[in-house]
Amino acid sequence: MDRPGWATAVGIVGIILAIFSILGTVQLAFIPLFQELGDKMAEDFQKEFPQQMERMQEQGGMPAYTERQMKQMENMFKSMRKIPDWFLSFLTAAYILEALVSIGVIIGCINILRMKKSGVPLFLWTAGFKAAISLSVLIAAFFASSLFAWTMVGGSGIGFVAISGLIVIAALGNKGVFRAKPPKIPNGPPWDSNR
């Protein structure tokens, strides 16, 4: 029985995406390091920012800012790099759950490649759940109001789009080949010993 092209594509790309998702959970271990590096870069920037602004104003390239405006800009930069504690907790739970669901996606993709009936429904359910988790991470990053949070969840956005595309392909693909049974030979195969 020939495997349709959509099943091959969904199976292979789905496995690759799920493996990347599992590897992405390693990112959790580096969150404190990322935050520390971000804090150091922000401190350096805050030290140099007023001097850079003064230099540009002296050269006539920038309008003169009041002390209040400078303070507002500094506060804006601080808020962009600050990650709320609730976001880190949510991100940890979401990525661990996404890694576990990715195992189901891999099993579903393997079953699709092996042409098992259970492959498509298993893939659709687990991939749908994975897409929902990715979308919730993106929404949480939006509410975290932190540029640093957005840089941490970039992979979730790409993963959401890719897995959603695979869900559409799998849902619209012809699943008749998964239900087809081999033709029944009326008298059995020629080598049947019961004849």
**Every domain of the chain and the residues it spans:** 5-174
How far apart, in whole angstroms, are the C-alpha atoms of residue 13 and residue 147? 30
pLDDT at 67: 66
Question: In terms of pLDDT, which residue wins out, 131 or 66?
Answer: 131
pLDDT of residue 167: 94
Residue 195 above 50 pLDDT?
Answer: no
How far apart, in Å, do the first and last CA atoms of the chain sit?
Answer: 27
C-beta separation of 119 from 21 below 8 A: no
Q: How many Cβ atoms sit within 10 Å of the Cβ of residue 85?
A: 7
Amino acid at 136: S
Query: What integer best gives the mean pLDDT of the chain?
Result: 80
Distance CA 39, CA 118 (A): 48
Is 177 in contact with 114 (CB distance < 8 Å)? no
**pLDDT digits 0-9 by tens, 72-122:** 777 776 666 677 778 888 888 888 898 899 999 999 999 999 988 888 999
Per DSSP, the three-state class of 96 is helix
Residue 77 one-letter amino acid: F
pLDDT band at 185 (very low <50, low <70, confident <90, very high): low
**What is the average pLDDT across 164-178?**
88
Region 173-190 average pLDDT: 67
Q: Which of 87, 121, 92 lies closest to 104, judged by CA?
A: 121
Q: What is the pLDDT of residue 70?
A: 67
Q: What tens digit of pLDDT does each residue of 127-159 get?
A: 999 999 989 988 988 888 777 777 777 778 888
Q: Give residue 14's pLDDT.
A: 94
**Helix locations, 59-175, DSSP H:** 67-81, 85-113, 119-144, 147-152, 154-172
Rounded Cα distance, 142 and 136, in Å: 10
- Which pair of tokens denotes residue 172? 């619209």
The pLDDT of residue 130: 93
Higher pLDDT, 9 or 66: 9
> Over the range 25-56, which residues count as b (16 or more CB within 10 Å of their CB) and which as e?
beebeeeeeebeebeeebeeeeeeeeeebeee
- Nearest partner of 164 among 192, 114, 124, judged by Cα: 124
Query: Is the confidence at residue 124, as pLDDT, over 70?
Result: yes
> 3-state class of 69 per DSSP?
helix
Neighbours of 174 (CB within 10 A): 9
